[in-house]
Structure 1
């Protein structure tokens, strides 16, 4: 809805979101099943996983193009 509100019109490339979401779903399901199996056998893993996921969240930032962000701004 937000994309349509900003004037973007759906095109044939939008159909690629379906296989991308299906692949993402299967990847996440497989990873969850593997980690559940490992967590059931290793109790310490249950304490380690929140630390790993929090570190992963903080370490994986959003990347912006410096040239794109500085376009139209005065030079230093």
Structure 2
């Protein structure tokens, strides 16, 4: 599995975990009802999920992660 595929899977897992947590919190505390629970959960998730990108630097694939709380992307060494 190449790094681009790993990044896609990891980003999906982060999205799923944050989406399910936001959906559970919104539904548990009855903040919204009906179709608005998944809609608002999706918007919250899109804002909070970290973005992973693969760049080719000096012939090697390098993975960077950036999200709402960081000013610039930082390299990921565990992929």
Note whether the superposition's TM-score is higher than 0.5.
no
Please state which structure has a larger fraction of its residues in strand. 2
Question: TM-score, length-normalised on structure 1?
Answer: 0.39
Determine which structure has greater relative contact order: mean sequence separation of CA pairs < 8 Å that are 6+ residues apart, divided by chain length. Answer: 2
Structure of larger gyration radius: 1
TM-score by length of 2: 0.38
